[in-house]
Structure 1
Amino acid sequence: MERREFLKVTGGLAGAALLTSCARPPAAAPASPAGTPRPPAHVLFADVSARLSALDTRSGATIFSTARPVAGAGWDRLYTVSPAGELLTLDAVTGRELSRATVPHGVVARVVSPLGDVVALGAPAPASPYGRPGRRSTTLVVADPSGSTAPKVVRLKGNFEPDAFSTDGKALFLLEYLPATSPESYRVKAYDIERGSFSPLLTREKRPVPAGAEETMRGEGRVAVLSPGRDRLYTLYTHQPNHLHTRDLVAGRTTGVHAFVHVLDLGQRWAYCLDLPEPFGRGPAEGHTLAVSAAALYVYDGAGGTLLRAGTESLEIERTAVVGASSGAASAASEGASLYVAAGPSVRSIDPGSLAVRGEWRLPAAARGVAVTPDERAVYAGVTGGVVRFDGRAGREVSRIAVPGISLLRHAATRPDG
């Protein structure tokens, strides 16, 4: 949908201009009629024309945009490398620079610790880590974004990609792709930054995983979500033929699954795989999505229209329900007592306990991400050419904002001055 067509449909706000600077105040919001309460001010984070942009929802203006950033755990900070080779820490709402640190040239920010005090940098992520040419060795940089200490260069034999930091920032979890020069699978490893060596992961029972019994995974990592407590990373994998979990390898069993959620405890350093039942994993990877709350994780499969809920403590599936099939890319957002799934031309509001569909909102184009504000009052859905805002409590559309070039809506935050 072209910008003029989106505005014709919406009759709404002026389009956002993509700014190339890292910080510029937003354009003044249009005046409201006398006696009309102004809507709460929110900031949306979206991928726009190969950059991450922060968008003001009142004016529709781009506050700032930046290339290849990594968001902090609470989306209060963004970390990116400048053309001059400096690691910049930006205030995520305003784009204001908070600190900078010199790092080697040629690297980009890849992973940030839960506290935001350590950043792992490396080569840009490949379009696909599988197949040739791979690489025989990997160089990573572990940096203090404040610049108080010099960055540490880590050189490893093998093909590795950074995945997450431990909660204390002392260990870096890595994905090792095997074989190194023509990968067909990967496994998770823990690298002790201070010691400069690998340390064993634990099973959920807190037992060290024996050497050679690490899980070897095959397939596509669809989406990774950090827990609200910032102490676990949940990653949804699909299309896993002949995948063997650590518990199966240790027991000498052979089995296969098509989709599962990999649970990595960043504090206690254990890993566990929650198998998903059929037909999860058989449909298109982009039709699957994952959302996480403090009490539960939710996985949706658009091909079958099935949603499941699993407890984060038990890591057992508690309920499944058919909520409606959709084609195309799916996304989900969980906040408080709210759960939303966006796929195809609609957003579904779902009761997180019963998994009953509370309501369905139609979109003017295919969904490109969904985000809910911390107060749960506003729900935003990205679509081709813009963003649609819904009132989460009244269950109705409120407004539309034109955002030319948007490919994915990632997050919604409340402006401190709003």
Structure 2
Amino acid sequence: MVTREELYRLIWAMPMTKVSTQLGISYGKLVQICTAMGVPRPAQGHWARLELGKVDPVPPLPAAVEGQPTTWTGNGTPLPKPNPAARAPRKKAITGNKTPPAMHTLLRGTKAQFLNSRPTRDDGFLRPYKRAMPDLRTTSEALDRGLLLANALYNNFEEAGHHVVLSGLNSAARRLQVDPREAPIKGRQYDPYPQPWRPDRPTLVQTEGVSIGLIVLEMTEHVNMRYTNNGFVRDSPELAARLERSHGSGWTTFEDVPSGRLRIVAYAADSGVDWSQSWQESEDQTAPLSPETIVKAVLAQKRQLLEMAEEAARRAELRHRAWLEEQEKCRRREDERNIAKSYEESLAALQSAIQRWSRVMDIEQFFSQAEQRAATLPSKAQTNVLERVSLARNLIGRQDPLDLLREWKAPAEIYKPLYADSADIVQQRTRRNL
């Protein structure tokens, strides 16, 4: 059971999304209960303004009028419709002397684009269709606070003389893989599937000599979830007791769910520089995050980041030289293999030509000796032998041994070496093996 006074204190102590979770009801149901019981609610953006140090006046709890419920039992009984006469008169917004900070160019019009999201998964994080967006990841409930915090952060960098932009399409800047868990569990690696939404280009602070990436995200917390008729909701002793009274305890499981608290991450966008720093809200934190302090802390690391970037460039140059040397060695080894192969092919062709030359010479010697012997025979026998020699020559055909030499190719004609010294080495090796 919750009284008007208890509900009033809860509503003004924490965001209504957390109150609805604690009571085990939906946000819309909580709004209906507040309206029926005449409990004033914070205006939209109240908690975001509070984070930035702008305190809205808290209206007092009006006295209950006749017929208005003063308690909510949580047993599912429909609430009576509120009496129109009991409604408090609408108050005009109190405007302060200070004008709200101008919206940074990267953030203008982005709220609607963030809300134009694919269906959210169980975690509730927005997954906008557009990906050329500032690096911001929150739920719809925390979007306003995230935009205000990012705006204050970007504007403070601009005031310090450093523009905040999206990286170019062909930029080599990398985006840091961030673990959104508020308190990572030891031994439990962060490897989500499917991968969470991320912009296609990192958000960068333009500083001389080094690029600094910025991420604003809503963290997750590992909490016990209890299954009810409305799905999984955060478990609490009140919820467990209420379900037990209704003979339906529901089963529980631990899940990483949005915490409503934000984190700012600054990191070196150069893949060779291993540096990152984060600032995050905590459950017991009294003061909000200070973008001005964060900007000063980041810019104070500029000299160190420049030194780290120079060292990374030096290491990259050494790696590049080593790679070039290895490529040169590979080319030389490949060149020697091709030269050796050309020598083998040329030598094999030459040996084949020599063997064929010997056979042609043997055949020619056979016919020459036959013609010489035929010259010593009588006229009729001589004619017969010479006719047989002519038939044999026609059968074999004329063969010029020089044709074999003309068809042969030297090693340099088969493959042209890339390195002269490699050709000399292979030639000496081949001669030793002959």
TM-score, with length taken from structure 2? 0.23
- The structure richer in helix per residue is 2
TM-score, with length taken from structure 1? 0.24
Which of 1 and 2 has greater Rg?
Answer: 2
- The structure richer in strand per residue is 1
